[in-house]
Chain A
């Protein structure tokens, strides 16, 4: 796997040699984009922070991998933490930040000693003056959002706030801040160092009704069928979920590019594939995800706070057999409303699974409804 190739601080030395301009140039030439899901060009993000004048700047490594069914950052932090740290100090020195934070998912706290060790070893060997601290999250899903991370590190409630100003202009404690995903930062030294580095390779987290779940590395545009067959499903596959919040689609052959997945009304996000076979009900899936969502909504804006609970109630009603087809319409109404009007990415994507499930598998919902 490309992501596991160690760079052993050679990239840092190269970065020092070629300087700020060289690093930005090389990253933009090689086409490194964010691995968190939004695929924003990394070089451009850093350039924003460089262009903002301030004597204090920060780098944050987003290791709050909260999406159910996603575990790619876990692999990276477990196997090659040194690469991530190297990426962090390259980022920090490129934008002239003296302090960096790793915002670690609460559930990954057991990785902290390992990362701490990697930090001291990398800092010692490289001689870099960047200070790197680990902040462990308290387990809120919404803290994967960059603005919520900022609030959380500042000590406030982890809630997203309005952008602009974007973090590279005004972020942590009002200072320019670059926030990159673990995967992005791990790719930074590799992109700088290796001439044969392939920008198209992605990590896919495959799980669900497969006998061989795990992380698979493929270029964007890999065939969905090929990927799932590698997982060796036991029963015929019915549907594919792109994480909890990426939406679902009936199982069929497509090439996994953001555009193709978007054509199915889904979002590929961080490459999460949850396989559902024909032994499982889509309504059960919807209920499980809705429960997760109602629990994780931060409560700031009306559609998400109130809507998440109402969605769950409606699905429970459908499950109990007391609902009518009208309730399915209400559910879709509500799901679309939350998608259209929520404040942050959590709310805007949280009902993708319902919108797509009601589009592709409506009969499963209606079977559970009363007949009038």
Chain B
């Protein structure tokens, strides 16, 4: 199809919107409400262009043969400007106006908005919850958080209420976020183009703990943090910054830097053993993984029938938190009360998880990847120039199997590597389970376990979880991750987190796994030592007491 774009004749494919065509050609058009992979709703009306002299929204308009598109003209400028003015009038009152912090202020800078003729009207209170905070004063009603929560996660914790200029985003019946079935995944945080939704920060508490000489502050970092943290400091997407991150943490004064990957290896030992036990006893199948706290909350709200199917294992960082306060404390002769465990997670739901009473606050504070970056900047540490350092013993050694926990399918792959070898006594020839890899929402496969075919499935993203649950009975083992593509797409990861970035982070994870000499959890020498010295054997009574948990029924609303 032949069209005229800014006075140039060009050929374009059919079925592409004007916005897509412009993007491909490097023509920048401001837009706030477009959601990657979902249908355009054309709410924000910023992406105006002229189509044959008429103003249209480029995100929702398809060109036709011979049409003329203009992307910059005094008319377009004028209307974009008034629109930006209307959006900013309320937003500006509480915004830090930092063009690097979110899309709206970036766009405002580009449009060159100079005057705002209207006064702010709205005065809302913040909606605080254990992990996600919403600030309606900044909100511009683009609806992206609602689409993330509804269409991507299939949770529907928030929606618009009221109408006209009183319209705002709110949980059901103006309840607060912590009173409704919100799974705290934080996907709304990534969706928000104006910084109106963010995690509840625990930086102050962590800094206070670091200052307190009596406290022994232990930090642990999740597998997916090390492949994303670099982005915050201008490094290319997909950089692995494990060594630099450890060095920075040590520099900030953390007494011990442990690795959640150790907890991940331990999880595999417990979960793998639990699975083999179920294979021996004939069920209940499918067994479903429990590493993802958002998925756990999802299940507690919507899928009560799954209680017997859930593995009882705690999530890796809770296991490690527990061991830090028992095994490690005994070893170095510290009082449990003097130990503070801080987890660096890609996740906002982990913040909620750490407040669960049944876990007895083994982890004191959870920081997201973004918060860690902020902390490093506050301490004025130049991450990029640090020399690589190693995690501390005894809870710092890990295998490649633990690293891949960060991507969707990773827990499954790691568990299969171990379950196969422990179950059959044979050595696995090829440790790469390609069927479990990739960014697809649902992945399935099977593996032969001494003549018994084990069918497994992996789902990431709430909507995919619901889809997979409809046919769950076909499978023996299922991995669920609430965030699309798993923890590398987690709600606490650096901004922006989109499909392209996630792909880079995933590549880094699997490249990292390849670089490990030990790629199976049960080969981890520190794990072997831990069982020998402290836990006995996988699934032992002591392991059960320390590393396993139970679940609660929660209301759907």
Contact = CB atoms under 8 A, between A and B. Distances in A.
Contact of A299 (B44, B46, B118, B141): B141
Contacts of B159: 157
B141 A330 contact: no
A218 B79 CA distance: 41
A177 interface: no
B79 A302 contact: no
Interface string B310-323: 00000000000000
Interface string A184-203: 00000000000000000000
A300 B43 CA distance: 6
Nearest to B164: A297
Given A302-B140, A310-B118, A341 B166 contact: no
A299 B78 CA distance: 22
Given A306-B87, A310-B118, A299 B45 contact: no
Interface string B330-342: 0000000000000
A337 B82 CA distance: 7
A308 interface: yes
B86 A302 contact: yes
B124 to A, nearest CB: 15
Contact of B45 (A157, A295, A313, A342): A342
Contact of A343 (B43, B121, B140): B43
Interface centre among B45, B48, B141, B162 (most CB of A within 10 A): B45
Per DSSP, chain A at the interface is helix
A305 to B, nearest CB: 6
Interface string B29-58: 000000000001111111010000001010
B42 A343 contact: yes
Kindly state the interface size class of chain A when it binds its partner: 20 to 34
B107 to A, nearest CB: 13
A303 B89 CA distance: 12
Contact of A340 (B43, B55, B164, B167): B55
Contact of A298 (B48, B60, B90, B163): B163
B164 A341 contact: no
A140 B165 contact: no
Contacts of B40: 162
A305 B139 CA distance: 13
Contacts of B117: 330
A305 B164 contact: yes
A10 interface: no
A161 B41 CA distance: 7
Interface in A296-347: 296-303, 305-310, 313, 330, 333-334, 337, 340-343
Contacts of B82: 303, 333-334, 337
B83 interface: yes
A334 B41 CA distance: 22
Given A297-B165, A301-B43, A305-B165, 10 more contacts: A296-B163, A299-B160, A299-B162, A300-B43, A301-B44, A303-B45, A308-B165, A334-B82, A340-B55, A341-B45
Interface of A: 140, 157, 161-162, 294-303, 305-310, 313, 330, 333-334, 337, 340-343
Interface of B: 40-46, 48, 55, 57, 60, 78-79, 82-83, 86-87, 89-90, 117-118, 121, 140-141, 143, 159-160, 162-167
